[in-house]
Amino acid sequence: MTNHWVDIKNADLILIMGGNAAEAHPCGFKWVTEAKAYRKARLIVVDPRFTRSAAVADYYAPIRAGSDIAFLAGLINYLLSHDKIHHDYVRSYTDFSFLVKADFGFENGIFTGYDPEKHSYDKASWGYQLGDDGFVLTDPTLQDPRCVYQLMKAHYARYTPEMVSTICGTPQDAFLKVCEMIAETSASDRVMTIMYALGWTQHSQGSQMIRTGAMVQLLLGNIGKPGGGMNALRGHSNIQGLTDLGLLSNLLPGYMTLAGEKEQDFAAYLDKRSPKPLRPGQLSYMQNYPKFFVSTMKAWFGDAATAENNWAYDWLPKLDKTHDILQVFEDMNAGKMNGYICQGFNPLASAPCKIKVSGALSKLKFMVVIDPLATETSEFWQDHGEYNDVDPTKIATEVFRLPSTCFAEEDGSLVSSSRVLQWHWKAANPPGEARADQEIIAGLFLKLRELYAKDGGAFPDPILNLTWRYKQPHFPSPEELAREFNGRALADVTDPKDATKVLVKKGEQLNGFAELRADGSTACGCWIFAGAWSEKGNLMARRDNSDPYGIGQTLDWAWAWPANRRVLYNRASCDPAGKPYDPSRMLVAWDGVNGRWGGSDIPDFKPDSNPTDGMGPFIMNPEGVARFFAVDKMADGPFPEHYEPMESPLANNPMHPDNPLARANPAARVFKGDWDSFGKPDQFPYVATTYRLTEHFHYWTKHCRSSSVIQPEQFVEIGETLAAERGIRSGDHVRVRSNRGHIVAVAVVTKRLRSLSVEGKQVHTVGIPIHWGFMGVARNGYLTNTLTPFVGDANTQTPEFKAFLVNVEKIQTIV
């Protein structure tokens, strides 16, 4: 979230699209009801299903699953053509006036540089025109046809309300009603927030859906403002933290990136990640990258990381490609992998295409499952009848199942979607011999290190030199680990402006990432977490909930990254002169008297930068402004374009009916063998979408009695029209088939799933909640990833769980 949960109460309009906050995040959704009740805010829900969020919405518009870009692109077109944009904001804080390279183009659904063989783009032409000074050329009059504004206007003019309705199935009047309501927030004192979740991410074009939403927010001037922002509602309690800590194939802590194998030169590696400002007077904060990187290496490898060995740069693995979960299961299925460790993760249920995952796991030599609960993954080899029909005697994988603690049995911190790190305390001992996760990792690591120390082996250096300064090596305490990722001074850290002034003494905890140094004098495990545990103590454990400004900015409650800032880009809540656009909801403002920024939040800005200096509010971008034109940051184009889901009821993309290459996302990665696994609309005529229900959490709560009482048994939702066509009544058992498998479930026939008129034909949606499986106290059911396609978003490889094709039939008798 750019903003945070409580801040939603400051919104005038809330758009929930690509998410279902009322069901998936009920306690955060309370701030929507607060905004409605006390700010007279309106709530719009756009969703294929009339969800429980829609139940309390002021306006609901249906949409075909997977067509969100078309809807939002139509909205952009509406805002531009009706001149409902925040002029001051877009001129000052975005790349509206930036000139784009002359050879960039877009034709028949494909951007320049496409290689149909590789399904990817050469992005050389996706950039700005640079002047001789290295700065981007601009046209403040916005007249130049190569300026971002003009290009964008032309790009989105194609998304007329008629076209939107044709693609999305949303009735035109409903679409226009949503546009009108949203357009009102282009006023300075009206703010909209967008709340989305996996309804946007889990598409082959998911990242671009989110980008389109962000572009809408930028046009309306809603980013950085209280009650505004782009708010990704993360799905798990610490998925934010794990992402922050870089537990992804290609990341290092704090969104630093691992080097590719071609990046053999350390200086070049740093240089590429420390961009110089692209406009005069801009901060381009990531120029500090070397400080973050070196400090992390010092935290990990201590004295073994030296300037001479490039801070152990070579010890980090170098990427050939991204080994995300889809790639890993592809490789595993191809027999290229031998071992796998699943720590609190249930991929047999969570990863797409169960049959492929199951086959892949069966090819492993060993698998280790670390979990508090008996998961499906840990029993992938076991015969569970129709729900997991395998022959154990044919599966040679050795499986270890290690019991870990749950939340109640450990200390530690979690990062909420608001980016707030909150400490929690252990209440009881775990059952039996269960151990805390860090104790299990320590046990494994120390055993490995012992073996490497004794017997040697492949490249033991990083293993033998990994810092392990824990008082009880077998039980690194959460406190020690938190202090380590916060960072400490290895030597006195002095003020760069005054070398005699010691900011932090040797051995002391750091107060923030501003104190990091690239010379090895600081160690910091995760730079964005620097400040969480300073010499003041554990700031994540703070419990002062006072809200002095009354707008929900509880700065003394726990600690938020970065730098305890609660609303990102908050400089943009002020006009270029530093005055809040809406003084009644002030986040920060320029205090001319003291020459500093201040207010109810920590300024997301250089704190002493006078507005007259013209520094842009988006300091993480070398441009200093927000980008409508994504330059080379996206895999599938600088401007979002509608593509059909990989499995779509339409034969062609209505935007580009005669270009089969532009039917689905041209840059989406599909593994060779998987093309045949996609179903066609003649056999699988209905659009399916999978989702969570409010009663359950993923595949965990089926192990809990209370959740199982209130939602006991697997079901699918079917609209009344489709049900009538197929002779299905509520309570009947139905079989839902995709080209990859089938599930059997109870039918819930509902008015809430409408059939939509798409390109003149009626498209039905089948809703498939995900929560059941063959382990647990709830009634056993099928893992719904039996149905889902093995394809991910072009940028993030997030699987396309939200739009695929199925067929449905009534089962006459249940055996």
Minimum separation from the CB atom of position 251 to other proteins (A): 9
- The pair of three-digit structure tokens given for residue 679, joined into one six-digit string: 């179903």
Question: In angstroms, what CA-CA distances link 488 with 230, 306, 420, 665, 725?
Answer: 33, 17, 21, 46, 67
Alpha-carbon distance 189 to 193, whole Å? 13
Minimum separation from the CB atom of position 583 to other proteins (A): 23
Minimum separation from the CB atom of position 630 to other proteins (A): 20
> Taking Cα atoms as reference points, which of 382, 415, 424 lies closest to residue 401?
382
Minimum separation from the CB atom of position 729 to other proteins (A): 7
Pairing of strands 366-371, 110-111: unpaired
Judged by CB, which is closer to other proteins: 671, or 697? 697
For 453-505, give the DSSP string: HHH--SS-HHHHHS----SSTTS--HHHHHHHHH-EESS-EEETTEEEEEEE-
Question: In angstroms, what CA-CA distances link 457 with 302, 318, 450, 463?
Answer: 22, 19, 11, 11
Contact 569, 550 (CB under 8 A): no
Contact 631, 127 (CB under 8 A): yes
Give the residue carrying structure tokens 């959460």.
Answer: 478
Judged by CB, which is closer to other proteins: 85, or 442? 442
Judged by CB, which is closer to other proteins: 457, or 673? 457
Alpha-carbon distance 398 to 382, whole Å? 12
560: helix, coil or strand? strand
Backbone angles phi, psi at 602, to 5 degrees: -80, 125
Q: What residues contact 412, with CB distance under 8 A and at least 6 apart?
A: 423, 424, 478, 482
Minimum separation from the CB atom of position 402 to other proteins (A): 5
Q: What residues contact 500, with CB distance under 8 A and at least 6 apart?
A: 494
Minimum separation from the CB atom of position 773 to other proteins (A): 11
Alpha-carbon distance 342 to 699, whole Å? 15
Q: What is the DSSP letter of 70?
A: H
Alpha-carbon distance 136 to 280, whole Å? 9
Judged by CB, which is closer to other proteins: 533, or 686? 533
Directed axis angle between helix 206-219 and helix 68-81, to 10°? 20
Judged by CB, which is closer to other proteins: 454, or 497? 454
Other CB atoms within 10 A of residue 110 CB: 19
Minimum separation from the CB atom of position 814 to other proteins (A): 11
Judged by CB, which is closer to other proteins: 649, or 792? 792
Judged by CB, which is closer to other proteins: 307, or 464? 464
- The pair of three-digit structure tokens given for residue 170, joined into one six-digit string: 């949303």
Question: In angstroms, what CA-CA distances link 134 with 97, 137, 277, 401?
Answer: 16, 9, 9, 56
Judged by CB, which is closer to other proteins: 110, or 294? 294
Minimum separation from the CB atom of position 544 to other proteins (A): 9
Minimum separation from the CB atom of position 565 to other proteins (A): 16
Question: In angstroms, what CA-CA distances link 349 with 515, 705, 772?
Answer: 44, 20, 9
Q: What residues contact 54, with CB distance under 8 A and at least 6 apart?
A: 45, 47, 60, 752
Judged by CB, which is closer to other proteins: 425, or 675? 425
CA dihedral 549, 551, 557, 561 (to 10 degrees): -110
Minimum separation from the CB atom of position 595 to other proteins (A): 31
Minimum separation from the CB atom of position 626 to other proteins (A): 23
Minimum separation from the CB atom of position 248 to other proteins (A): 6
Minimum separation from the CB atom of position 398 to other proteins (A): 6
Minimum separation from the CB atom of position 513 to other proteins (A): 16
89: helix, coil or strand? helix
Minimum separation from the CB atom of position 807 to other proteins (A): 20
Judged by CB, which is closer to other proteins: 425, or 492? 425
Question: In angstroms, what CA-CA distances link 512 with 509, 551, 569, 618?
Answer: 9, 25, 18, 20
Question: In angstroms, what CA-CA distances link 672 with 358, 570, 643, 663?
Answer: 19, 45, 20, 18
Alpha-carbon distance 584 to 505, whole Å? 42
Minimum separation from the CB atom of position 590 to other proteins (A): 27
Judged by CB, which is closer to other proteins: 152, or 328? 328
Contact 15, 46 (CB under 8 A): yes
Judged by CB, which is closer to other proteins: 21, or 99? 21
Determine the length of the chain. Answer: 815
> Taking Cα atoms as reference points, which of 57, 131, 63 lies closest to residue 99?
131
